[in-house]
């Protein structure tokens, strides 16, 4: 009996005091680490006794969990707990779907519903009686399984059958065919995938019309599996090359294989949808009757959710967040839905102080603590958006936070913004701006904690002089900058928000895309800046020309520092088929520079303008060169230059053949075009002839 | 065992040890670009039979290098041209002043009368501008080397010349300071490669076009080429075949097949040659030292975060740095394993004579006539071996032993960035050259990494570094992070396209258009 008392107390100590639930398995294992002799039977005996006494009650769902009875639980806590399971904790890195369904079971709340953007296309593909197979490709977290399941349900499959064990599901269709679903290739080990792949091949290439195969897989996975299978069979697998080309958008998919690529579908809209689904979820209604936000108390969870919804700022926060996602996407980063969910979850629940919140994600039970501590600023949605509440290691494990932190918001700043934040409160000239941009937000802007740290910093108390003495204030300053990035009004000339990021010119970049989409001309300033940057890179001279592009060489390496020989000169604006045009790539939605050296297709060289390349050119045009990304982009541009030179070579040799007369002149003289620079920086090419006397 | 060509007697060396292992000779100060220039000079003198063996000369080939005294004088021994161009005097006066200045500095080797220049250039300023242009594209144009060791970009056959020492009186000699025969060895390697002849033809066609505009410009300055009178014989390269020779040759061929201007291809040729020659150096060392495992080069891909790979690649660097000296010791001491060393002769004295003979055959040492102050006659062969080890290591440390450090730095393979210790941390240029030579149009990233390891022994990712993981030197995770860093780096260099997690493709920006479409 004595033993039981100890066990009972130990068990009770492990059940969360805030009334949230804990799973039996977890509880059992934790308890056993304290009581090694604990058996399963004993555990259940003790647990059931406690339930009978009314000390514990069973959690919602299938009874797999327990929670303390009689604790007054904030009304939305089950939901918040569930939302937390989407967040960037280490628990949900693998087997995400299972993790979420378990959490859903426990919480007993409505799930987060997201649309399946490609579902309609899939359904109509099945209904169209098109023979062959369907491949649902995408990154982990893109929602491949989600789509599969939705399709299964739409064409009449039984959800229970789906949830049962087994990776391959079959369903008889009305037209007599069998639909074969292969849920996830990654769950099949090694040779287990041979059979499904052989089935795929026979359906796609063998002309078997009795089945339609629906296969979900990662890009890399299916290519690898096909390669391995091909190797073992001593051949190049016939599906591999065409699929690879299709993935890279370099060629069509095989005729009888429809590819649905989910990794191409996330964008600003997806984020907006996810944010709406999370922040606008009906479960939040429960917060209305929560004591944590009564009597003028501020609940950071509730506050963050409202800000994400955009109730007060007309959606500016969500819009800027969308901008960031767009820029990241154009820089080649793919952010799967799962990551966007993690981002939204973290924005609402994140908290930089680990003492308040385990895993840096708040639960309702933590809110009271943070309120008592007067530290609501630690849960600022603006800092959470960049993952700065998370420890570095955990943030860098998630593509989305890696992407967000790569903008450098918080570290980057402008003099105007820093001046405002440091002196604004006391400086008469800045006061009105300060009140308008900082002080107006009493929760995350002008907080008491910020004012006192600011005073301490400005007054220069003893601590401020010491090394690292101002670190507290500086950390706050970073969070304030993050806040300003999201809250500065659009078009506020004194404080442009993009200059607080690494991508100072990202705003212009997005405008280029917008203009091209609406088939309007790109603004002259932006185009001029790009051309100036391009000329400076191509020649290595400080040129100011914006009307033409010099394709220059040094005679030797393209790499050489300065290139003073003008091989070719073309207009910076496409006219009559010659010159530079800025176009939109339909497939990627990205702008590209298209420099055409002669009339006719095949005479132009294309340079995809990613945000980072745009930034590089724009900064070169301004004369400043940040060391951080100079070399990378330079190599990239030099490759472009080499291609331009090669194209020039081709066009010139074509001209020489066409113009036979010139050859005679050529042999007695040699003409070189030097680029001369006027004092104002305007460059022009000056021909020089060398006579050959032999 | 691959056939080794009998070494001819090498004069002007004290003994042959490094020479037996690697050939005569690899040299630290002859950086890869100088090796390629020396190589091109030999090729230029053999355009009628490029990269073909010349059986009449044994394993070597002959060539007549160009000297182009006028051209190099105009470019690198002509410091007054700018100031004269800038002076405010008439064109006639400028020419007059310049002719006077140049005449004073002339070496007297065909550069006395430069009057022909005036007929080619319409003004002195044009002339000055041309000089400036050619200087700007020259190798190491800003270095403080002597003027006779500076080189114009190899625009074509007229732009090639050999390294010289020219003294105040104008007499010229080959002091082998920067053309130390490493380029000759490169020529021999490529000649012995299986596709050598194909490469030779291709190089002659692409690079030896005397009508290329820049070559014609150089010819305007130089006038008729100046060659040495007597043909020279290249140095000695031990092995008749070596897969590394084939590797260099195939790399050159694939780079030449890319869609890029030939002058740009040169840059990649130089980098890839440096890498391959470095590997030849290390592989030979390993082989001679009796270690059959392939050379491993663990590369850190520098990123913001410090990783364990940094320490590991530093260790790898140290291990490789130590290989050549080990080879020298083993090679000298291995003479004791020779059958003739331990032949049971009738008397000790006879055996010593035999041993001494053997040593002389192998090492050209000790000298037959004791010209040196040292006297070897009284020493036992056993002692002599030990003495040779000491001498050979001392000489080895002066130059050959520094090859690994200086070449790996020159090609951008090693670096001390963010660290006090030198380690392998390839820079962007080298990575680009590797991509250009390996990838035809595109290649899956993991296949690329496997290829990088099998060709060059570079270990970057976890799949390549399984040995390191199983030896518990590093976590698999660290290596895969390193691999991810490379991926990120190549993405930003425009060389990788990413599809989804764990699936990306390395793309060659200079792939021929036809290749991509098919």
Q: Bigger pLDDT: A100 or B257? A: B257
Please give the pLDDT value at position B516: 42
| A589 domain-assigned | yes
C-alpha distance from B32 to closest chain A C-alpha (Å): 16
Please give the pLDDT value at position B241: 94
pLDDT exceeds cutoff 80 at B446: yes
Whether residue B155 and residue A555 make contact (CB cut-off 8 A), yes or no, is yes
Bond before A252 cis per omega within 30 degrees = no
Cα separation values, B16 from A542, B177, B241, B289, Å = 55, 19, 21, 17
DSSP A446: S
Name the residue in chain A with its Cα closest to that of B490: A632
Tell me how far the alpha carbon of residue A77 is from its chain's centroid. Answer: 29
A264, A279, A308 — which closes off a domain? Answer: A264
Whether residue A690 and residue B133 make contact (CB cut-off 8 A), yes or no, is no
Residue numbers in A near B138 (CB within 8 A): 556
- In which band, very low, low, confident or very high, does the pLDDT at B341 lie, cut at 50, 70 and 90? confident
Whether residue B499 and residue A670 make contact (CB cut-off 8 A), yes or no, is no
Q: CATH number for the domain including A48?
A: 1.10.10.10
Residue in A556, A603, A604, A685 to test binding to B, most B beta-carbons within 10 Å: A556
Residue numbers in B near A541 (CB within 8 A): none
| A518 domain-assigned | no
Share of chain B above pLDDT 70, in %: 96
DSSP string, B119-131: HHBSSHHHHHHHH
A278 and A319 co-located in one domain: yes
Q: Which residues partner with A674 through β-bridges?
A: A565, A686
- A413 conformational bin, left if phi > 0, alpha if psi -120 to 50, beta if neither: beta
Alpha helix ranges (H) inside A72-192? 77-84, 96-107, 119-127, 144-154, 159-163
pLDDT tens, residue by residue, B266-320 = 999 999 999 999 999 999 999 999 999 999 999 999 887 778 899 999 999 999 9
Per the structure, the count of domains in chain A is 5
> Phi and psi for A36 in degrees, rounded to 5?
-60, -25
A631 and A568 co-located in one domain: yes
C-alpha distance from A382 to closest chain B C-alpha (Å): 24
pLDDT exceeds cutoff 70 at B3: yes
User: Checking DSSP bridges between strand A132-137 and strand A257-261, what pairing results, if any?
Assistant: parallel
pLDDT exceeds cutoff 60 at B327: yes
A277 and A251 co-located in one domain: no
Distance CA A88, CA A341 (A): 9
Whether residue A218 and residue B503 make contact (CB cut-off 8 A), yes or no, is yes
Please give the pLDDT value at position A1: 45
| A189 domain-assigned | yes
Distance CA A168, CA A214 (A): 10
pLDDT exceeds cutoff 80 at B106: yes
Cα separation values, A409 from A485, A486, A518, B409, Å = 8, 10, 30, 36
In degrees, to the nearest 5, what angle opens at C-alpha B451 toward C-alphas B449 and B455? 125
A345 and A283 co-located in one domain: yes
Distance CA B469, CA B482 (A): 13
Share of chain A above pLDDT 70, in %: 93
Name the residue in chain B with its Cα closest to that of A262: B500
Neighbours of A447 (CB within 10 A): 21
pLDDT tens, residue by residue, A521-568 = 999 999 999 999 999 999 988 899 999 999 998 888 777 778 889 989
Residue numbers in B near A632 (CB within 8 A): 428, 489, 492-493
State the number of CA atoms in the 13 A half-sphere of B267 facing the CB.
22
Contacts of A340 (CB under 8 A, 6+ apart): A266, A270, A271, A274, A325, A400
A160 and A246 co-located in one domain: yes
A71, A99, A130 — which closes off a domain? Answer: A71
Among candidates B256, B100, B114, B113, which has minimal Cα distance to B190?
Answer: B256
User: By three-state DSSP, how is residue A18 classified?
Assistant: coil
Q: Bigger pLDDT: B158 or A629? A: B158
Residue numbers in B near A244 (CB within 8 A): 444, 505
pLDDT exceeds cutoff 70 at B260: yes
Please give the pLDDT value at position B63: 96
pTM value > 0.90: no
User: Checking DSSP bridges between strand A211-217 and strand A132-137, what pairing results, if any?
Assistant: parallel
> Phi and psi for B497 in degrees, rounded to 5?
-115, 135
When pLDDT is averaged across residues B488-511 and rounded to a whole number, the result is 85
Q: CATH number for the domain including A220?
A: 3.40.50
Please give the pLDDT value at position B518: 33
Neighbours of A235 (CB within 10 A): 9
A543 and A684 co-located in one domain: yes
Distance CA A20, CA A109 (A): 14
C-alpha distance from B478 to closest chain A C-alpha (Å): 13
Of the ranges A49-63, A587-601, A666-680, which one carries the lowest mean pLDDT score? A49-63
Contacts of A60 (CB under 8 A, 6+ apart): A21, A78, A106, A107, A108
A500, A516, A551 — which closes off a domain? Answer: A500
Whether residue A690 and residue B429 make contact (CB cut-off 8 A), yes or no, is no
Distance CA A605, CA A533 (A): 17
pLDDT exceeds cutoff 70 at B417: yes
* Count of positions (residues) in chain B: 518
The 3-state DSSP composition of chain A as helix, strand, coil percent (nearest 5) reads: 50, 15, 35
- In which band, very low, low, confident or very high, does the pLDDT at A664 lie, cut at 50, 70 and 90? very low
Please give the pLDDT value at position A629: 61
Whether residue A556 and residue B516 make contact (CB cut-off 8 A), yes or no, is no
C-alpha distance from A328 to closest chain B C-alpha (Å): 13
| A80 domain-assigned | no
pLDDT tens, residue by residue, A282-291 = 989 988 888 8
pLDDT tens, residue by residue, B470-486 = 998 898 989 999 999 99
Among candidates B422, B486, B440, which has minimal Cα distance to B459?
Answer: B486
pLDDT exceeds cutoff 70 at A591: yes
Strands (E), B331-413: none
Please give the pLDDT value at position B102: 93
Contacts of B272 (CB under 8 A, 6+ apart): B248, B251, B252, B255, B433, B434, B437
Please give the pLDDT value at position B410: 96
Please give the pLDDT value at position A145: 83
pLDDT exceeds cutoff 60 at A452: yes
A260 and A279 co-located in one domain: no
> Phi and psi for A260 in degrees, rounded to 5?
-110, 110
C-alpha distance from B149 to closest chain A C-alpha (Å): 19
| A495 domain-assigned | yes
Contacts of A643 (CB under 8 A, 6+ apart): A605, B260, B509, B510
C-alpha distance from B155 to closest chain A C-alpha (Å): 7
Bond before B111 cis per omega within 30 degrees = no
Size of interface A-B (CB pairs under 8 A): 144
A444 and A460 co-located in one domain: yes
C-alpha distance from B121 to closest chain A C-alpha (Å): 5
- CB-nearest partner of B267 from A219, A247, A557: A557
A547 and A577 co-located in one domain: yes
Whether the CB-CB separation of A166 and A253 falls below 8 Å is answered with: no
A624 and A680 co-located in one domain: yes
When pLDDT is averaged across residues B113-132 and rounded to a whole number, the result is 92
Distance CA A572, CA A550 (A): 9
Whether residue A635 and residue B429 make contact (CB cut-off 8 A), yes or no, is yes
Contacts of B353 (CB under 8 A, 6+ apart): none
| A410 domain-assigned | no
Containing structural domain, residue A194: 119-264
| A101 domain-assigned | no
The 3-state DSSP composition of chain B as helix, strand, coil percent (nearest 5) reads: 55, 5, 40
- CB-nearest partner of B500 from A219, A224, A557: A219
| A98 domain-assigned | no
Q: Which helix (H) or strand (E) holds A511?
A: helix A506-517
A272 and A258 co-located in one domain: no
Tell me how far the alpha carbon of residue B308 is from its chain's centroid. Answer: 32
Residue in A537, A671, A690, A693 to test binding to B, most B beta-carbons within 10 Å: A690
A197 and A301 co-located in one domain: no
């Amino acid at each position: 009996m004595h033993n039981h008392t100890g066990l009972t107390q130990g068990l009770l100590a492990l059940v969360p005091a805030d009334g949230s639930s804990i799973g039996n398995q977890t509880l059992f294992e934790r308890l056993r680490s304290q009581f090694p002799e604990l058996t399963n039977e004993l555990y259940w005996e003790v647990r059931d006794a406690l339930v009978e006494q009314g000390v514990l009650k069973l959690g919602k769902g299938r009874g797999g969990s327990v929670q303390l009875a009689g604790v007054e639980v904030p009304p939305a806590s089950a939901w918040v707990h569930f939302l937390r399971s989407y967040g960037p904790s280490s628990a949900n890195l693998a087997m995400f779907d299972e993790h979420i369904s378990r959490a859903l079971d426990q919480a007993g709340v409505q799930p987060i519903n997201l649309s399946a953007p490609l579902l309609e296309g899939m359904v109509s593909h099945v209904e169209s009686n098109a023979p062959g197979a369907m491949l649902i490709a995408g990154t982990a977290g893109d929602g491949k399984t989600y789509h599969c399941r939705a399709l299964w349900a739409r064409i009449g499959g039984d959800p229970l059958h789906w949830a049962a064990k087994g990776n391959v599901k079959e369903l008889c269709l009305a037209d007599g065919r069998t639909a074969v679903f292969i849920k996830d290739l990654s769950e099949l080990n090694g040779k287990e995938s041979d059979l499904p792949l052989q089935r795929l091949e026979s359906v796609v290439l063998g002309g078997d019309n009795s089945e339609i195969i629906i296969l979900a897989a990662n890009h890399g996975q299916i290519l690898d599996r096909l390669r391995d299978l091909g190797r073992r069979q001593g051949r190049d697998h016939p599906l591999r090359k065409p699929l690879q080309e299709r993935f890279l958008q370099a060629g069509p998919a095989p005729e009888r294989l429809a590819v649905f690529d989910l990794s191409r579908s996330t964008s600003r809209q997806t984020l907006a949808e996810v944010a709406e689904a999370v922040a606008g979820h009906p479960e939040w209604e429960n917060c209305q009757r929560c004591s944590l936000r009564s009597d003028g108390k501020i609940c950071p969870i509730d506050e963050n959710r409202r800000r994400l919804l955009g109730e007060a700022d007309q959606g500016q926060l969500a819009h800027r967040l969308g901008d960031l996602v767009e820029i990241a996407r154009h820089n080649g980063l793919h952010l799967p839905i799962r990551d966007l969910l993690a981002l939204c979850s973290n924005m609402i629940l994140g908290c930089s102080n680990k003492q308040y919140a385990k895993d840096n994600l708040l639960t309702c039970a933590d809110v009271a603590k943070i309120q008592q501590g007067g530290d609501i600023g630690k849960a600022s949605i603006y800092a959470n958006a960049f993952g700065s509440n998370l420890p570095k290691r955990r943030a860098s494990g998630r593509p989305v936070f890696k992407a967000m932190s790569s903008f450098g918001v918080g570290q980057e700043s402008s003099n105007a913004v820093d001046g405002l934040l440091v002196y604004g409160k006391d400086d008469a000239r800045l006061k009105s701006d300060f009140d308008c941009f900082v002080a107006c937000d009493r929760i995350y802007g002008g907080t008491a904690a910020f004012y006192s740290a600011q005073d301490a910093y400005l007054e220069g108390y003893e601590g401020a002089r010491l090394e690292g003495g101002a670190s507290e204030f500086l950390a706050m300053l970073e969070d304030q900058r993050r806040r300003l990035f999201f809250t500065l009004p659009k078009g506020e000339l004194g404080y442009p928000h993009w200059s607080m990021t690494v991508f100072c010119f990202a705003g212009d970049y997005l405008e280029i895309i917008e203009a091209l989409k609406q088939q309007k001309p790109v603004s002259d300033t932006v185009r001029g800046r790009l051309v100036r940057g391009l000329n400076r890179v191509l020649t290595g001279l400080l040129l100011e020309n914006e009307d033409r592009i010099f394709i220059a060489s040094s005679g030797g390496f393209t790499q050489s520092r300065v290139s003073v020989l003008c091989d070719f000169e073309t207009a910076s604006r496409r006219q009559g088929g010659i010159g530079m045009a800025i176009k939109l790539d339909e497939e990627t939605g990205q702008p590209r520079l298209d420099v055409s050296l002669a009339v006719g297709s095949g005479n132009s060289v294309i340079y995809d303008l990613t945000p980072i390349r745009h930034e590089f050119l724009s900064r070169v045009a301004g004369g400043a060169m940040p060391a951080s990304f100079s070399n990378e982009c330079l190599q990239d541009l030099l490759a472009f230059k080499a291609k331009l030179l090669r194209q020039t070579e081709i066009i010139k040799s074509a001209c020489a053949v066409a113009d036979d007369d010139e050859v005679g002149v050529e042999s007695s003289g040699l003409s070189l075009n030097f680029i001369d620079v006027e004092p104002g920086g305007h460059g022009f090419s000056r021909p020089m002839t060398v006579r050959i006397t032999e | 065992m691959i056939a080794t060509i009998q070494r001819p007697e090498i004069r002007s060396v004290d003994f042959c040890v490094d020479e037996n292992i690697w050939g005569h000779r690899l040299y630290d100060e002859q950086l890869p670009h100088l090796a390629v220039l020396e190589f091109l000079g030999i090729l230029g003198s053999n355009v009628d039979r490029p990269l073909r063996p010349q059986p009449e000369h044994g394993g070597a080939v002959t060539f007549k290098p160009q000297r182009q005294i006028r051209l190099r004088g105009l470019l690198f021994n002509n410091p007054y041209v700018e100031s004269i161009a800038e002076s405010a005097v008439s064109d006639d006066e400028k020419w007059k002043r310049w002719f006077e200045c140049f005449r004073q500095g002339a070496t007297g080797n065909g550069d006395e009368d430069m009057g022909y220049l005036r007929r080619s250039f319409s003004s002195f300023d044009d002339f000055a501008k041309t000089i400036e242009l050619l200087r700007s594209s020259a190798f190491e144009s800003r270095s403080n080397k002597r003027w006779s060791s500076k080189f114009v970009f190899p625009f074509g056959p007229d732009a090639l010349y050999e390294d010289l020492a020219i003294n105040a009186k104008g007499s010229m000699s080959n002091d082998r300071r920067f053309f130390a025969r490493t380029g000759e060895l490169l020529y021999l390697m490529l000649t012995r490669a299986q596709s050598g002849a194909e490469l030779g033809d291709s190089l002659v066609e692409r690079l030896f076009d005397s009508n290329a505009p820049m070559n014609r410009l150089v010819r305007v300055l130089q006038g008729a080429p100046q060659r040495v009178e007597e043909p020279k014989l290249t140095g000695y390269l031990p092995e008749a075949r070596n897969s590394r020779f084939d590797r260099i040759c195939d790399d050159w061929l694939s780079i030449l097949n890319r869609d890029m201007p030939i002058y740009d291809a040169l840059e990649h040729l130089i980098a890839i040659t440096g890498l391959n020659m470095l590997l030849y150096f290390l592989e030979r060392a390993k082989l001679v030292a009796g270690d059959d495992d392939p050379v491993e080069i663990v590369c850190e891909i520098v990123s913001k975060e410090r990783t364990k790979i940094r320490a590991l690649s530093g260790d790898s660097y140290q291990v490789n740095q130590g290989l050549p000296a080990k080879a020298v010791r083993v090679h000298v001491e291995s003479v004791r394993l020779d059958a003739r060393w331990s032949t049971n002769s009738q008397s000790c004295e006879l055996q010593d004579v035999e041993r001494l003979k053997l040593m002389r055959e192998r090492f050209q040492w000790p000298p037959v006539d004791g010209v040196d102050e040292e006297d070897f006659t009284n020493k036992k062969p056993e002692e002599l071996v030990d003495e040779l080890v000491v001498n050979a290591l001392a000489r080895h440390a002066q130059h050959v032993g520094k090859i690994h450090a200086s070449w790996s730095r020159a090609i951008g393979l090693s670096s001390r960035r963010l660290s006090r210790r030198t380690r392998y941390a390839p820079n962007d240029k080298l990575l680009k050259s590797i991509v250009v030579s390996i990838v035809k149009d595109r290649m899956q990233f993991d296949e690329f990494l496997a290829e990088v390891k099998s060709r060059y022994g570079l270990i970057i990712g976890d799949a390549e570094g399984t040995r390191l993981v199983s030896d518990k030197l590093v976590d698999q995770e660290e290596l895969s992070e390193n691999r991810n860093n490379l991926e990120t780096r190549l993405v930003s260099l425009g060389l990788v396209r990413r599809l989804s997690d764990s699936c990306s493709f390395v793309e060659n920006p200079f792939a021929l258009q036809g290749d991509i479409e098919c």
